[in-house]
Structure 1
């Protein structure tokens, strides 16, 4: 029971102090489950993120569920999931109840501007940390450049990029394993 409460509390803290969605949570989740608690190693964390991004739904929900399951099975998945989503749920309920009173408040606007400025940096930190785990070779570099060009200039849907990347991984790395 202690492990489930510890897992719940870890993800609750992450959910309570992360603004900007799942990608902004990645550095906090990694710090908590890989660096602090050592529940999983960095390679397992990267694998979980890849799987979590491949499934429909919110990255934070998917990754917390997979991590919880990896650590303690279905009860662990439920504890981690509840920990990750309850803070947002509570905050949304409170905001919905009082939003109209604060909507035009200058100071509230300033706070949200500050938060909005920090979120892209949290995403950038996640990208930098995840890129450290990716093998450095010309094929992967070419895949990164092709992905950036496809999404930025040709507006290719990210799902198509994920499918093509999965096929690339299967065929490129599949040959090397055999």
Structure 2
């Protein structure tokens, strides 16, 4: 049953993920977190962050990891095939169709109309992650990281993988400054 669910989940992502890997991330989130509950939002965010640091298409990396996590090696193969086969078939069909009818106004309009929808899907997912950061970082630190990321990525052309890797390294290496709290000693109990 899990293999059928894996296939259907990533098949839908492959069929509806118009616009490439980033456009399919909200669809993967909907299937994996909301529908099948194979992971929670924090785990999904971790998989997404790590997947963005590795080379290759994000949709197949996420499908491979999630498939492996849900159903082992066969689940990984199943999820990756469900993700790429529809894309291959649709590429052949749609590119043939678009090349043939690209000059018709409704075909051109259809292609242009999808761009804002993908933008809204990505903005919605981004806002959800930003709201969730309030619980772990607080608004101030989250806002500082967002502004610093925009400056580094958009203005200074720093690759996102370097930024994500730096934040992961910082989180792993930082020393938690736990307050020095001494537990009160109960009467009659002492060393």
TM bin (shorter chain): 0.7 to 0.9
* Greater relative CO (CA pairs within 8 A, separation 6+): 1
2:153 is matched with 151
Please identify the structure whose Cα radius of gyration is greater. 2
Aligned Cα RMSD in Å? 2.0
Deviation of 1:76 after TM superposition, in Å, equals 0.6
Distance 2:51 2:158 in 1: 21
In structure 1, stretches of 5+ residues that fail to align are: none
Runs of 4+ in 1 over 6 A off after TM superposition: none
2:31 is matched with 32
2:176 is matched with 176
Normalized against structure 2, the TM-score is what?
0.82
Distance 1:163 1:41 in 2: 22
Q: Tell whether the 8 Å contact from 1:24 to 1:126 is kept in structure 2 after alignment.
A: no
In structure 2, stretches of 5+ residues that fail to align are: 179-191
Q: Tell whether the 8 Å contact from 1:23 to 1:126 is kept in structure 2 after alignment.
A: no
Superposed CA deviations along residues 80-126 of structure 1, whole A, max 9, x for unmatched, are 11111122111111134344311212111011111012111111112
2:117 is matched with 118
More helix by share: 1
Normalized against structure 1, the TM-score is what?
0.87
Question: Could you say if the C-alpha distance between residues 54 and 119 of structure 1 is closer, same or farther in structure 2, counting changes exceeding 3 Å?
Answer: same
Superposed CA deviations along residues 15-54 of structure 1, whole A, max 9, x for unmatched, are 1112222222222212211111122222222221122112
1:1-178 aligned at under 5 Å gives the runs 2-134=1-133, 135-137=136-138, 138-172=140-174, 175-176=175-176
Q: Tell whether the 8 Å contact from 1:52 to 1:66 is kept in structure 2 after alignment.
A: no
- May I ask how many residue pairs the two structures share in their alignment? 175
